[in-house]
Each structure stands twice: as structure tokens, then as C-alpha cells.
């Protein structure tokens, strides 16, 4: 009976984790709640908003740093962070951050979190 209870508990937490994130080519794609929780678990998270400067001015998440995915120097700008620390990326809806996450992987980042649904989903989550 105890083994069944442990198995049921483990299955519940596993399904909860799966529903909150997916992994695409070594990148954890997190829903807003999981992204938020992961951010708050760190003192100084590396949070990157890959939207344009105008999109960034209109609002962002916490103390995100803006590095426009469309800039010619995007790759070199992304190379400045600590690759052993988690890096969090987001855009408006998830397309650019998915591409940015792949670049982070190429650059050697060990842990990459991409916000599922982007800032659009975050605004709904935060309200």
C-alpha cells in the first residue's frame, strides 16, 4: 500500500512538471507560473527580453535586460552572460525567444528557460 501511495505521489508531481514545461532541443519551455517561480528562486537571474526596444519600453518583466533579437550584434550581446547560470528568455509570443534559445544553446549555455506564450501570456498571468 505504501509503495502504491509513493508511486501515485511521484506520478502526480511528474505530470504537474510535464504540464508546466516542455523541453525543446535542450531548452525548457516553461509556462508563466513555472517561469516566475524559477526567476524568484535566484538572487540575480539573467532575464533577457528579446523584443524590440519599442516593445520593451511598453512594458517588460521585472528587471529584464533588453537585447533585440533583430539586431546584427544579437549573438555577441548574448555571449556576455554567465553560461553556467540559468538564462531566461522571452519575446512577445514565443517565436523569437525560441530562436534566441537555440542561439543560447549554440553559445554553450547550460540551462535555458523560454517563456511559453511570451510577454502576451505574462500580462494575463500577472493580472
Catalytic positions are: 91
Q: In the predicted model, is pLDDT for residue 40 greater than 90?
A: yes
Q: What is the full DSSP assignment across 60-118?
A: -STTPEE--TTSTTHHHHHTTS-TTS-EEEE-SSSHHHHHHHHHHHHHT-S-EEEETTH
All structural domains of the chain: 21-126 (3.40.250.10)
Residue 26's pLDDT is 80
Average pLDDT of the segment spanning 88-104 = 97
- pLDDT: which is higher, 1 or 49: 49
- Residues with Cβ within 8 Å of 64's Cβ and at least 6 positions away in sequence, in order, are 47, 48, 49, 56, 90
pTM above 0.85, yes or no: no
Give the span between the Cα atoms of 90 and 115, in whole angstroms. 5
Question: pLDDT over 90 for what percent of the chain?
Answer: 79
Q: In the predicted model, is pLDDT for residue 42 greater than 60?
A: yes
Amino acid at each position: 500500500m505504501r509503495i502504491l501511495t509513493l508511486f501515485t505521489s511521484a506520478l502526480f508531481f511528474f505530470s504537474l512538471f510535464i504540464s508546466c514545461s516542455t523541453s525543446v532541443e535542450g531548452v525548457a519551455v516553461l509556462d508563466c507560473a513555472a517561469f516566475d517561480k524559477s526567476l524568484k528562486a535566484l538572487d540575480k537571474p539573467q532575464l533577457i527580453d528579446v523584443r524590440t526596444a519599442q516593445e520593451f519600453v511598453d512594458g517588460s518583466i521585472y528587471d529584464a535586460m533588453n537585447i533585440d533579437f533583430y539586431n546584427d550584434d544579437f549573438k555577441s550581446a548574448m555571449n556576455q552572460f554567465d553560461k553556467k547560470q540559468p538564462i531566461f528568455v522571452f519575446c512577445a509570443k514565443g517565436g523569437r525567444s525560441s530562436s534566441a534559445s537555440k542561439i543560447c544553446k549554440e553559445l554553450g549555455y547550460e540551462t535555458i528557460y523560454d517563456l511559453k506564450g511570451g510577454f502576451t501570456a505574462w500580462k494575463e498571468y500577472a493580472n
